[in-house]
A and B are shown apart, each in its own frame.
Chain A
Amino acid sequence: MIPAPFNYERPNSPEAALALLTATPDAAFLAGGHSLLTRLKRREERPPLVIDLSGTGLDKIQTTDDGGLIVGAMVSQAELVNAVSEADWTLLKNTGFSAGDPMIRHRGTIVGAMCEADPRGDWAATALALDASVELLLVNSGRHSITYADYLTAPPSEAHLVLSTSLPAQPKNAVQSYSKVKHIAVGWAVASAAIVMSPDHVRIALSGALDAPQRVPTLEQAVVDMVSKTPDAQAVKAVISEALSGLHWQGDRYAPADYRAHRMAVLLEDVISDHLKLLTFS
């Protein structure tokens, strides 16, 4: 597996990295490389230049005054999972232990996974459920921050580099979880749900079965309405069925689209019912 020839640069600042991209618009940024390197080896991508970000100083995790996190673009998934506390960041911990495998997590970056936003991936859904934002360095407009949800649906047309992601502190009384049905052989999600749920605030993001990882506002609202009411399995099932019905599903030979839709509904029934019980009795 030998890639097509390419040039290689390892700039020492984000600005220098972006300047290289401006000079060679078809260049590719290399962070953890778990998507890019495979495509290079299979010659599915033939960038004239690979810009290695490992020297740009984007390898730090910062904690903000209010308890949020700023995670640099070169921070590996394993580093992040090891750095955060279980109590505050259950969702990150959960995701870390079900995404990929140890080798992938020790090289793969969370920001890279968010930029890739593979429909079957894990980190994009988790970032959506945590209400993440991303800090960008744009070639003309300089530094700029937008929500990750906006970044996914309407990324800037201007050449840019994602410097970091900001994860706001989560409500203290929230239940967090990442639940995943793994594609048995390849480890991707057949269906997965990242959930942050407090009595007055619910964020649910799904992956594995949809065109892209996404939040489901109708379901979030329906669940908010159910909190503090007597748990009712049939009602939960109904709101999930309603909320999922409008989504577009994809599949493969192992798990066709209709199966994934079904499997996602079952997964959500179980996890939402559990969380409602936890919130009711806490």
Chain B
Amino acid sequence: MSKTLYQGEVKEPDGWVGKALPRMEDSKLLQGQGQYVDDITLPGQLHAVFLRSPHPHADITSIDVSVAESMEGVMACLTGDDFSNTSPIKPNWVLPRAIAKGRPPIAQGRVRYVGEPVVVVIAKSEALARDAADLVKVDYAPLPFVLDQDEALEANAPRLHEDMASNEAALFAPGNGGFDDAAGQAPHRFQFSLRNQRLIPFPIEGRCVNADYEVSTGRMTLYIGHQLPHMIRRMMSEAIDFPENKLRVVSPDVGGGFGAKMHFYQEELIAAIASIKLGRPVKWTERRDEHVAATTHGRDHTMDVDVAVDEDGKFIALRVDSRANIGAYMSSMGSGIPTVNVGLFVMGVYAIPHVEARIRCVYTNTTPVDAYRGAGRPEASYVIERTIDRIGHELGLDPAEIRRRNFLKDDELPRRQPTGAMLDTGRYHHTLAEVVAQSDYEAFRLKQSDTRASGRLLGQGISNYTETCGIGPGQIQAYVGFDRGGYESARVRMLSDGRAVVYSGSHSHGQGHVTTYAQIAADELGVSPDLIEVIQGDTDAVPQGIGTFNSRSVVVGGSAVKVASSRIAERINVLAAHLLQAKQDEVSRNGDVFSVNDGEKSVTLREICKVAWNGHNVPFDFGIGLEETEFYHPKSMSAPYGAHVAQVEIDPRTGELSLDRYVAVDDCGRVINPLLARGQVHGGLAQGIGQALYEDGTPLENGSTPLEPSIPRFDMVPKYESSHTVTESWTNPLGAKGLGEAGTIAAPSAIVNAAIDALWHLGVRELEMPLTPARILAAIEQAQSSGGAK
């Protein structure tokens, strides 16, 4: 492993973009000086505690809050009756023709998942609210329930919403058709099933909200750890008909989100309503046991694959029939993630003449499922990357070779795949070749066969994931029912002292915007990043924006910063020429000094900035100041991709899997900061490895969620080897592609492919995630008892 971050196709740049700058925000965070919502306590602060359903499905027969309500210091005990006129929370992405059943603010006579809010107690302290909640009596009449999406589709399954004809919430069927005809004549056809288990996003900071309604002004400030400050402002305003110009959302430091902090949940709605009702600030801080039950989950998607290939292993046709569990209610993006974000990408980076996908979203008595890092793309990538490996093994072709035979070629891009996915640029052969070299893939093959005689089980797996990032434009979002803008804002202001402020509508929940945006602006403005302040997360301060998801912060938000900064740079040049009484092309800049005629006359950047703002010597048509706002609206999305290799050894006696090596070569276009890029890859891989090997959020038999999630600690992941190929995107001025979700998308299929590669000769064909030792051992034993490899 090279010690430098500049390796392969990432070279140390002359400018700031591309430099491995350490994160400028870390000093504060590492000293414990970050400020999170729970750190904010206001005068007159009240605290909310929720009483939640212990049943997956039940009618509420009675609620008695009388004792709790009479306790000194208890301000209110609110039940479903208090919210009977409040509409259920509207999902933000409703697939066309989907049946959207949003969450009621508080259960209306019936609970549909364990953890659903039933009563909220508001008191002068959290401890008091907790004690009072213990004294609330709720009686339930349990109802039959269903947790699994396949069972929920059966005709006699318990019905989640009585006015629906079935539990099917949405159907999405992309593709170009023709499967039956094409596959019917194919020489090889394989059918098998796959499952992406339910996962629980686990930010270090749980959800937290503090709603502060000011009676005298009618204004409300909503402090909330959120990925989309402006979106939550709009959604709140719509939900309670609150004037949006009197609503301020402040999202201070945010300790991770992974997709779970971009929705509109019951708790913030209730905190806001309660604050208006009581005229005092109301805070709610999530407990871990609430987090696993009440914050959205991810994945939970079962898939049947039918694939046909020719004699050479080239795709003829692919059909995917799948069922996504979306939980008891449709969460914010609950009908879009498992459909559009899966269906478009089931072809991966391959040429497949005929594709048909059918995806059904299903209501069950479980916690709502929504976006979780990768958000649909891990499921899609798992389907196609497991499928192509399966074909290779079935035909006796190396997984690397079968991929080479099916890749889209460089000159076939840009391309809109028959499923609708837009792939802008990519060099799939090249990136695979890189990872093959870096992982000593061929040497591992030799070692694998050399050690097999002694009973050792070595395996390696490849994942050639792709996704599309940087969502926009809005017109495309409208087409799929996604009620969210596809732009991002940046306001850049150069101040009198030559320093700058960047206001971004995007919002970091760990990504490092303070550093990357400063780098982008620095190159345009010609100043050092440490002279640039980045402000985000306050809707009264930053221009109308969208927020952070879909690996879009650099691609869209960063482009906005670049465009706005470049316009300021242009104004600086104009003003410099004016002050020097020269033509613009006669002025040369050297650092902070602008001069003409080899330095005969000069003016400093600071002097220019001062003049721009005092307006004493500016042309009238120049206007005042150095401030530009850009709402960057991309015309198309970018498609990052990569090639990852996992190498594993399985102990045949115990089923224990050792992930010995993980090599990631990612192509996210232009890399803004290789250090932060590496951080994104590492974090994503940890979560992808978690899905492959450890985590399982499937409800227990009684419908509750297991409290001990097996999220990986640092000692449960290998030393990563990560690098980049650089294939720039033409979809944005940075040439960037987005990277935040890459590791999460790539790792599950790479690792499961590796495990099956180790066991294929024994007769093992499929393994279900997570690959626990027990499951691996059972698969080995089952394969052996049924006669081993055929």
Q: A184 contacts B694, CB within 8 Å? A: yes
Q: A259 contacts B708, CB within 8 Å? A: no
Residue B653 interfacial (CB < 8 Å): yes
Pick the residue among B126, B696, B712, B777 that contacts A253 (CB under 8 A). Answer: B696
Say yes or no: A255-B653 contact (C-beta < 8 A), given A2-B126, A2-B130: no
Q: B708 contacts A185, CB within 8 Å? A: yes
Residue B164 interfacial (CB < 8 Å): no
Say yes or no: A259-B131 contact (C-beta < 8 A), given A1-B287, A185-B694: no
What is the CB-to-nearest-CB distance from A193 to chain B, in angstroms, rounded to a whole number?
15
Q: B711 contacts A4, CB within 8 Å? A: no
Most chain A beta carbons < 10 A, residue from B287, B709, B774: B774
Cα–Cα, bound, A14→B528 (Å): 66
Residue A37 interfacial (CB < 8 Å): no
Say yes or no: A185-B289 contact (C-beta < 8 A), given A253-B696, A255-B774, A263-B773: no
Cα–Cα, bound, A114→B655 (Å): 31
Interchain Cβ contacts within 8 Å, total number: 47
Task: Name A267's closest neighbour in chain B (CB-CB).
Answer: B654
Residue A235 interfacial (CB < 8 Å): no
Q: A259 contacts B709, CB within 8 Å? A: no
Q: What residues of chain B lie closer than 8 Å to A185, measured between beta carbons?
A: 694, 708-713, 716
Q: What residues of chain A lie closer than 8 Å to B127, measured between beta carbons?
A: 2
Tell me the chain B residues, 666-712 only, with Cβ under 8 Å from chain A: 693-694, 696, 698, 706, 708-712
What is the CB-to-nearest-CB distance from B74 to chain A, in angstroms, rounded to a whole number?
15
Tell me the chain B residues, 135-171 only, with Cβ under 8 Å from chain A: none
Cα–Cα, bound, A186→B694 (Å): 11
Tell me the chain A residues, 1-23 only, with Cβ under 8 Å from chain B: 1-2, 4-5
Q: What residues of chain A lie closer than 8 Å to B772, measured between beta carbons?
A: 254-255
Cα–Cα, bound, A185→B716 (Å): 8
Residue B134 interfacial (CB < 8 Å): yes
Tell me the chain A residues, 245-265 only, with Cβ under 8 Å from chain B: 253-256, 259, 262-263
Say yes or no: A43-B773 contact (C-beta < 8 A), given A2-B127, A185-B709, A253-B706: no
Task: Name B712's closest neighbour in chain A (CB-CB).
Answer: A185
Q: B131 contacts A4, CB within 8 Å? A: yes
Q: What residues of chain A lie closer than 8 Å to B131, measured between beta carbons?
A: 4-5
Q: What residues of chain A lie closer than 8 Å to B134, measured between beta carbons?
A: 4, 43
What is the CB-to-nearest-CB distance from A270 to chain B, in angstroms, rounded to a whole number?
9
Q: A259 contacts B777, CB within 8 Å? A: yes
Cα–Cα, bound, A63→B134 (Å): 49
Residue A278 interfacial (CB < 8 Å): no
Q: What residues of chain A lie closer than 8 Å to B288, measured between beta carbons?
A: 1
What is the CB-to-nearest-CB distance from A179 to chain B, in angstroms, rounded to a whole number?
13
What is the CB-to-nearest-CB distance from B315 to chain A, in angstroms, rounded to a whole number?
36
Q: What residues of chain B lie closer than 8 Å to A256, measured between beta carbons?
A: 774
Residue A42 interfacial (CB < 8 Å): yes
Residue A266 interfacial (CB < 8 Å): yes
Q: B126 contacts A254, CB within 8 Å? A: no
Q: B716 contacts A184, CB within 8 Å? A: yes
Q: What residues of chain B lie closer than 8 Å to A266, measured between beta carbons?
A: 653-654
Q: What residues of chain A lie closer than 8 Å to B654, measured between beta carbons?
A: 181, 262-263, 266
Q: What residues of chain A lie closer than 8 Å to B130, measured between beta carbons?
A: 2
Q: What residues of chain B lie closer than 8 Å to A43, measured between beta carbons?
A: 134
Cα–Cα, bound, A2→B712 (Å): 27
Listed in ascending order, the chain B residues whose CB lies under 8 Å from chain A are: 126-127, 130-131, 134, 287-289, 653-655, 693-694, 696, 698, 706, 708-713, 716, 772-774, 777-778
Q: List 24 A-B contacts (CB under 8 A).
A: A1-B287, A2-B127, A5-B131, A43-B134, A184-B716, A185-B694, A185-B708, A185-B709, A185-B713, A185-B716, A186-B708, A253-B698, A254-B710, A254-B774, A255-B772, A256-B774, A259-B655, A259-B773, A259-B777, A259-B778, A262-B654, A263-B654, A263-B773, A266-B654
Listed in ascending order, the chain A residues whose CB lies under 8 Å from chain B are: 1-2, 4-5, 42-43, 181, 184-186, 253-256, 259, 262-263, 266
Q: What 3 pairs between A and B have smallest CB-CB spacing?
A: A185-B710, A259-B774, A2-B127
